[in-house]
Amino acid sequence: MKKLFLAYILTGFMLQSAQAGPLEQAERIHSRITGIQPSEQVLLDMADQIASGDTQGAAWLAMQNEAFYSVTLKDLATPWTNRDFDVFVPLNDYVATVIGAVRDDRDFRELLSADLVYTADSALGLPAYSASNNDHYAALESGGFSLRDNLVATTQSSVSGLPVSATAGLMTTRAAAKSFFIAGTNRAMFRFTMLNHLCRDMEQLADTSRVPDRVRQDVSRSPGGDSRVYQNNCVGCHSGMDPMAQAFAYYDFSYNPDNDPQGDNGRIDFNTSGNTDPATGTRVKAKYHINSSTFALGFITPDDRWDNYWREGPNMHLGWSAALPGGGNGAKSLGEELANSEAFAQCQVTKVFEQVCIRKPEDAADRTRIAQMTDSFKTSGYRLKQVYADSAVYCAGE
């Protein structure tokens, strides 16, 4: 084995070319995928695969390392769970679900609509999952348990109290609710879902040509006394956002703002059929009628019916699926709309590319490769590990 190891080193010195040799490529692939150096045996096994033409196999071998789950995937998903994009927040159900779904090669589109959450294996003896705190995941993280080996798939409806029809993957995890359903008007859930999973913020989506008939009452039609500001700025986001954020009309995050201002002991709250909010007289949460006197003639949200006005106009280029109707009720069907767009696939690929290659796409070759990887992502069943393998192979010779 030592002779083989030395032979690879000598080969690397002899091949003084721009293309890295098998050993260097193996080391780079492993480092980019896991953030750590491989053991000597893994390095040699990967180099053997690369030398035989199976660079993809070498990348998949690297993804068997625990660090791919506890470091790489955790660092990818953690900023998605909070408004500050902080990578150092504690492990939570949102991040654990991303890690478990990638480990299990699940269709990544499910993560915006499925009745799914990953919890720690009960055999570890940790505090049970709670809809009212993060103790379960804090104990999993502080105990140093493997995130590759100790995550188990279960249903949100069985642990959170949500009906199956109200579950929408990551959007209805406790961590997402704590960050994006807390207070406010629930537009934050839509905005951060677009940012995290379609790589578009509201300014990039602004389209003043859409009909503004669903803009809520809390939006001034004359900000600062100038209606032109509304017509040329505000309406560009709200005319498309408000009809889609209506999908979250029955959701809130229940917490005590006086004794628990950060909502550490709060929980997601959903008005099921038969529940009536005293402020609205319907299932719609009171937050949807907040500041209703700002523009009394604005839209009054009656239910959770959403419609995608961006299927026409410039945002049609986000690549909405022709197989879906472009409207529906509730977060689950909205999640399906977003996850089946071309922008969703491109966004995941671009994020992984930037993480693995440690740079943004720079030129036409990079953009072509990202387009190819996006096609591969879709044809492979939206498996994110395939994107990691493709990205690592592309950047291995740099």
The string over 362-381, giving b where at least 16 C-beta atoms fall within 10 Å of a residue's C-beta and e elsewhere, is eeeebeebbeebbeebeebe
**pLDDT confidence of residue 96:** 98
Average pLDDT of the chain?
95
| pLDDT over threshold 50, residue 16 | no
33-68 exposure pattern, b = at least 16 Cβ within 10 A, e = fewer: bbeeebeeebbbbbbbbbbeeebbbbbbbbbebebb
How many other β-carbons are positioned within 10 Å of the β-carbon of residue 184? 13
| pLDDT exceeds cutoff 80 at 9 | no
pLDDT range class, residue 398, cuts 50, 70, 90: low
What pLDDT, in 10s, does the model give residues 273-310?
Answer: 999 999 999 999 999 999 999 999 999 999 999 999 99
Is the pLDDT at 338 greater than 60, yes or no?
yes
Give the C-alpha distances (Å, rounded to integers) separating 227 from 220, 241, 299, 372.
9, 20, 17, 45
| Distant-in-sequence contacts of 19-27, Cβ < 8 A, 24+ apart | 19/397, 20/396, 20/397, 20/398, 22/47, 22/48, 22/50, 22/51, 23/47, 25/50, 25/55, 25/58, 25/396, 25/397, 26/50, 26/58
Q: Which amino acid is present at 313? A: G
Question: Which pLDDT belongs to residue 397?
Answer: 74
> pLDDT at position 54, please?
96
Contact between 245 and 187 (Cβ < 8 Å) = yes
Task: Read off the pLDDT of residues 99-155 as tens digits, 9 standing for 90 and up.
Answer: 999 999 999 999 999 999 999 999 999 999 999 999 999 999 999 999 999 999 999
Structure token pair of residue 145: 């348990």
Task: State residue 170's pLDDT score.
Answer: 98
Count of CB atoms situated within 10 Å of the CB of 15: 13
Q: What is the pLDDT of residues 28-66, one digit of tens each?
A: 999 999 999 999 999 999 999 999 999 999 999 999 999
User: Among all chains, which residue has been given the structure tokens 């000597």?
Assistant: 40
- Among residues 357, 382, 378, the alpha carbon closest in space to that of 367 is found at 357
* pLDDT-derived band at 19, boundaries 50, 70, 90: low
**pLDDT tens digits along 199-231:** 999 999 999 999 999 999 999 999 999 999 999
In the predicted structure, residue 13 carries a pLDDT above the cut 50: no
pLDDT surpasses 60 at 3: no
In 3-state terms, what secondary structure has residue 252?
Answer: strand
Beta bridge partners of 299: 216
What percent of the chain has a predicted confidence (pLDDT) above 70?
Answer: 95
Q: Where are the domains of the chain?
A: 2-62, 76-166, 186-331, 343-395
Give the pTM.
0.94
Residue pair 303/194 in contact by the 8 Å Cβ criterion: no
Per-residue pLDDT of 362-393, as tens digits, reads 999 999 999 999 999 999 999 999 999 999 99
Proportion of the chain above pLDDT 90, given as a percent: 94
User: What's residue 4's pLDDT?
Assistant: 45
pLDDT of 396 strictly over 60: yes
* Mean pLDDT confidence for 153-162: 97
Three-state DSSP class for residue 64: coil
Give the type of residue at 272. T
Report the pLDDT value the prediction gives residue 20, as an integer from 0 to 100: 73
Instruction: Tell me how long the chain is.
Output: 398
The pLDDT value recorded for residue 2 is 45
Residue 7: which pLDDT band, with cuts at 50, 70 and 90? very low
Which residues touch 172 (CB under 8 Å, ≥6 apart)?
156, 160, 162, 166, 251, 268, 331
